[in-house]
Chain A
Amino acid sequence: MSDEPDPSSQDDFDARLRAAQAKRPKRTEKSDRYARGGGLALAFRIGVELVSALIVGVGIGILLDRWLGTTPWMLLLFFVLGSAAGILNVFRAMGGYGYGAGYRRPDNEGDRAGRDRRHD
């Protein structure tokens, strides 16, 4: 706090604001690694991503079977789809695509601005 310029001088406020904004941390590979935690946390996360999609797939399969009376075909189909979704989750989590759907890397501001323009 003490190394900041004299707050009473308002002239260079814009310059200081720009400097502060430039100092703002960007979402980087490093912050991603921080979010991932250590090796064990990483392994655990992969497991959760894989299994949660499988749970959803199998759940949908069982419900559809019960509803349509097609035991066990929907279960078999959605088991495979759920496994694929699990692998997709893992691929996204590890490929630097973040946790979101879609295939765009959540990297820098320019990318986000470009994405906004594209949708306008």
Chain B
Amino acid sequence: MAETAGHGGGHSPLAQFEIHQIVPIKIGGVDVSFTNSSLLMVIAVALATLFLMLGMRRGALVPGRWQSAAEVTYEFVAGLFRETVGQEGRRFFPFVFTLFLFILFGNMLGLMPYSFTFTSHIIVTFALAAVVFVGVTIVGFAKHGLRFFTFFVPPGAPILMWPLLIPIEVISYLSRPISLSVRLFANILAGHTLLKVIAGFVAVLGVAGVLPLAVVVALTGLEMLIAFLQAYVFAILTCLYLNDALHLH
């Protein structure tokens, strides 16, 4: 019993976050193995692609169930994008839509039993947030050139205050990728840990285990909401940052 627990044999609530190598690959001393995290990412991309490709295969005027689902998803993100960024950022929409679907499928797939949630690792969410951050900054510079730096000067502030206010604004700007990644990662990590901890009570309590079982059922529903909500928040924040870069203030 103790041995299996020691090997993370499903007894620790944190065992679900362990990374396993599936295909060990080493390039130039760097470990780039194909892991369970990579596998789930590939599955998420494949499922998202299948969902849209098969859903829109017929492109019927009166959509069927599957096509409706694909259209509703598209409409949802398109509406979100339209009301936060507007027309001039239109060419960045595919990026936001892809990001939303990737995170949504990652979160949802993580709720399947025996699966793995790649969004529960800070390095994954931070990489996503860093791409958004660097991309948005490049867009800002491409659109406004050096005038982008006026972004950090609060309008109407006296020049005397600038040496104090500009570092604060810059720090606030630099904190974006951190808050963006930590929010997604921590929500997913906390939710999944809580699920496992409460599920652990079910077997231990015997007949009274019905109670934690009911809680787990309710929590799974809540987790689905959070899985969706966090993908939504990530997408809407990307939109808002993009809007900032396009319009400055």
Contacts and interface: CB of A to CB of B under 8 A. Distances in A.
B189 interface: no
Given A1-B62, A81-B167, A88-B168, A35 B233 contact: yes
Interface in B99-122: none
A102 B155 contact: yes
A86 B179 CA distance: 11
Contacts of A37: 229
Interface in A42-64: 44-45, 48-49, 51-53, 55-57, 60
A116 B143 CA distance: 13
Contacts of B173: 101
B172 to A, nearest CB: 4
Interface in B16-68: 62
Interface of B is mostly: helix
Contact of A27 (B84, B171, B182): B84
Contact of A104 (B83, B179, B249): B249
Contacts of A25: 79, 83
B249 A52 contact: no
Interface of A is mostly: helix
B182 A48 contact: yes
A47 to B, nearest CB: 9
B171 A56 contact: yes
Contact of B168 (A44, A81, A112): A81
Contacts of A102: 151, 154-155, 244, 248-249
A48 B186 contact: yes
B79 A85 contact: no
Interface of A: 1, 24-27, 35, 37, 41, 44-45, 48-49, 51-53, 55-57, 60, 78, 81-82, 84-86, 88-89, 92, 98-104, 106, 112, 115-116, 119
B175 A85 contact: yes
A79 B155 CA distance: 25
Given A41-B229, A48-B186, 11 more contacts: A44-B183, A44-B186, A53-B179, A85-B168, A92-B172, A100-B243, A102-B155, A102-B249, A104-B249, A106-B243, A112-B86
B243 A101 contact: no
B171 A82 contact: yes
B93 interface: no
B171 A44 contact: no
B15 interface: no
Contacts of B134: none
A112 B154 contact: no
Nearest to A60: B171
B172 A85 contact: yes
B241 A99 contact: yes
Interface in B140-162: 151-152, 154-155
Contacts of A48: 179, 182-183, 186
A53 B175 contact: yes
Contacts of B138: none
Interface in B162-180: 167-169, 171-176, 178-179
B249 A100 contact: yes
B187 interface: yes
A27 B30 CA distance: 46
Contacts of B11: none
